[in-house]
Amino acid sequence: MSPVRVIAAFALRESLRRRVFVVVAVLTVAFLVLYGLGVWQVYQEVGDFDVDETGVEAEVVAGATLLGLAMFGTLFLGTILAVFLTLGAVRGDAERGLLQPVLVRPVERRTLLLARFLGAAAVCAAYVIVVFVAAAVLTWAAGGWWPDRIVMPALGLAAAVALLAAIALTGSVFLSSTANGIAVFMIFGAGLVAGLLGQIGEALGSDTLDTVADVSSWALPFEALYQDALAGLTADTRGFTRLAISLGPFGGAQAAGFLLWPFALAYLAAVGFVASRAFARRDL
Amino acid sequence: MPLALDVAGLRKVYGPVTALRGVDLQVQEGELVGLLGPNGAGKSTLVKAACGLVRPTEGRVEVAGAPAGSLAASRALGYLAELFRFPDWCSAEEVLVFHQRLAGSDGGAAERAALLADVGLADAATRAVGAMSKGMQQRLGLAQALIGSPKLLLLDEPTSALDPAGRRLVRALLERLRERGVAVLLNSHLLTEVEQVCDRVTIIAGGAVVAAGRPADLSKPGGVEIETGEGVRRYDTAGRDEVPRIVADLVARGEAIYGVTVLRSTLEDAYLEAVAGASTGDGASAATAPPERAPAP
């Protein structure tokens, strides 16, 4: 068995034994139950709307808005998982004396980083895909609405949390666990705020806000992946319904274009390179 | 055949602090070398440099002929850190399986059972680390360090959490390892322990080697004590060679002799002298306290 698989499997087993996954599963079920209840209640109200008079398909607006909300919640939960699985991987574990016995084995330091990243990314990606698809199914079951795209938004969410896991892992090389956790959540929050500013800028026609959002998206591509995934939910929706969705809190997202995925991969590689270089030079 | 550990001109600087100032140290196959020194002397930094956990600022560190920190060097060594932990959710068996896989050891269950027996944990294979005492965890750490039959064992305070029985067990284990040709670098504050098991001792102070040699060579003659019918007589400047003459003189004077003890200073005396000399900048002349007397071996 390769060292990558050994270390990744060990990290996953630790999460299982520490009941991380049990806690996450229970709380996620609670989240989905709450979401399902909310969706059902909203569609009860929306059923009374008259489509012909307004030209807006209310069930589409409701579905897109609610699933956008679920997508935000899923990203947030996935980020929490990603950060807590990686925030102490290097300095935290070294300070606790857990890392040294592993690093004196014939294992490259970059192998350890890769294993920790793959383990965390696999768990978080699978998690957000499952939760997002479950939310989409709940929305369809309650209101009969299904998003215009499902696969790419799910993959976009998965890639976003994988990037956040990589950022948290890199932070763990430089920062103590607490400082790293705070830093990553602040980066996450900054990215989301920048994205919201971009949506507001789009609605207001503000070039400055658009520029801020663009720069933030390149600097923090997890935000661009999230926005792209959000835009995918209503990619084929047009007319007044499109306009109504755009006015909502999750409707102004912009598709990022074909460069997003190659850029995200390059960004991931760059983050990995920085982490690997810094870790290789670190005295423990 | 390459040395098990070859350290040459090792210098390590942490920002404004120079932890090691050109240390030379060699450990042969099957040799048990003690590393002594006060807190902050640079002992742990030296051991970590040998493990590849710390990068030298200058100098060379090789393990079994390979640069420290390389995969080849890592395959040749076992390491027990001074401050280490294993995940508390793991059983002893799981810890060893994990390290066997990382080390590429194909010893399997037989190796694990033998190692646990060697450190007196044969009955604790399934016990979680979190349910173990500190001493048991330290013994598990020792078993972990021995996975894959390393050529060089680096032990940083391996008995600090052990009771006397545990220390004796470790001493016996070190003796067996020496017989098997395993080289050991033992970093310890327990001078009597080092004196009992080590072939050679290196004393570090202020980041430099201030004394080195066999424990017996580091100690000095401390006089002769003769128990007579009149009481104990001490001859502070006398050595072993003078015992027959002194005894003959006493007998000629009609004194009854009940016992003769040739005294030497202890390793602790040598250690204190070397460390004090380093702190005063005087190689090995100043001692902070008069040496205690101990019977020569």
- How much is the average pLDDT of B150-154? 94
- How much is the average pLDDT of B271-293? 54
- How much is the average pLDDT of A170-197? 91
Q: Strands B58-63, B5-14: parallel, antiparallel or unpaired by DSSP?
A: antiparallel
pLDDT score of A64: 87
From the candidates A13, A104, A284, which should be mutated to test the interface with B, based on the most B CB atoms within 10 A?
A: A104
* Most confident region among A169-173, B15-19, B265-269 by mean pLDDT: A169-173
Is B293:B261 a contact under the CB 8 Å cutoff? Answer: no
**Residue B290 in this model has a pLDDT that exceeds 70:** no
Percent of chain A at pLDDT > 70 equals 94
Smallest Cβ–Cβ distance between B55 and the set A7, A106, A281 belongs to: A281
Which residue's structure tokens are 């896989």? Answer: B101
From the candidates A105, A109, A279, A284, which should be mutated to test the interface with B, based on the most B CB atoms within 10 A?
A: A105
Q: How does residue B83 score in pLDDT terms, banded at 50, 70 and 90?
A: confident
**Residue B147 in this model has a pLDDT that exceeds 90:** yes
- How much is the average pLDDT of A208-213? 83
Tally Cβ neighbours within 10 Å of residue B157: 19
Q: How does residue B162 score in pLDDT terms, banded at 50, 70 and 90?
A: confident
Within 13 Å and on the Cβ side, how many CA atoms surround B148? 27
Give tens-digit pLDDT for A18-77.
788 888 899 999 999 999 999 999 888 877 666 556 677 778 888 888 999 999 999 999
pLDDT score of A227: 87
**Residue B4 in this model has a pLDDT that exceeds 80:** yes
Is the model more confident about A204 or about A72? A72
The alpha carbon of residue A117 is apart from the nearest alpha carbon of chain B, in Å, by 18
- How much is the average pLDDT of A155-160? 95
pLDDT score of B279: 61
pLDDT score of B292: 42
Structure tokens at B109: 């269950």
Tally Cβ neighbours within 10 Å of residue B6: 19
Structure tokens at B56: 């030298």
Which residue's structure tokens are 């040709």? Answer: B181
Give contacts of A6 with chain B, Cβ < 8 Å. 98, 101-102
Is the model more confident about A186 or about A237? A186
Is B228:B296 a contact under the CB 8 Å cutoff? Answer: no
- How much is the average pLDDT of B197-202? 91
Using an 8 Å CB-CB cutoff, list residues of chain B that contact chain A.
14, 48, 51-55, 71-72, 74-75, 77, 79, 81, 83-87, 89, 98-99, 101-104, 141, 144
Sorted by sequence, the CB contacts under 8 Å of residue A41 that are 6+ apart come out as none
pLDDT score of B189: 83
SS3 call for B265: strand
Q: How does residue B291 score in pLDDT terms, banded at 50, 70 and 90?
A: very low
pLDDT score of B211: 87
* Most confident region among A232-241, B143-152, B215-224 by mean pLDDT: B143-152
Is the model more confident about A167 or about B270? A167
Flag the least confident range among A170-174, B209-213, B266-270: B266-270
pLDDT score of B280: 54
Q: How does residue B287 score in pLDDT terms, banded at 50, 70 and 90?
A: very low
pTM: 0.83
**Residue B286 in this model has a pLDDT that exceeds 60:** no
- The per-residue pLDDT of chain B, averaged, comes to 86
pLDDT score of B278: 66
Cβ contact, residue pair A6, B75, below 8 Å: no
Q: How does residue B276 score in pLDDT terms, banded at 50, 70 and 90?
A: confident
Q: How does residue A125 score in pLDDT terms, banded at 50, 70 and 90?
A: very high
pLDDT score of A202: 74
Rounded Cα distance between A228 and A256, Å, is 6
Rounded Cα distance between B45 and B56, Å, is 9
What ipTM was reported for this prediction?
0.80
Q: How does residue B295 score in pLDDT terms, banded at 50, 70 and 90?
A: very low
Give contacts of A97 with chain B, Cβ < 8 Å. 81, 83-85
Tally Cβ neighbours within 10 Å of residue A266: 12
Rounded Cα distance between B8 and B5, Å, is 10
Cβ contact, residue pair B102, A100, below 8 Å: no
SS3 call for B121: coil
Query: H helices within chain A, ranges in order?
Result: 3-17, 20-46, 51-54, 58-86, 91-95, 100-103, 109-143, 151-174, 177-204, 207-219, 221-232, 239-246, 260-280
pLDDT score of B293: 44
Give tens-digit pLDDT for B220-259.
777 888 998 888 888 888 888 888 999 999 999 888 899 9
pLDDT score of B281: 47
Give contacts of B84 with chain A, Cβ < 8 Å. 97-98, 100-101
**Residue B21 in this model has a pLDDT that exceeds 80:** yes
- How much is the average pLDDT of B50-60? 94
Give tens-digit pLDDT for A135-148.
999 999 988 889 98
- The per-residue pLDDT of chain A, averaged, comes to 88
- How much is the average pLDDT of B151-165? 88
Flag the least confident range among B32-41, B71-80, B90-99, B280-289: B280-289
Rounded Cα distance between A42 and A63, Å, is 9
Percent of chain B at pLDDT > 70 equals 93
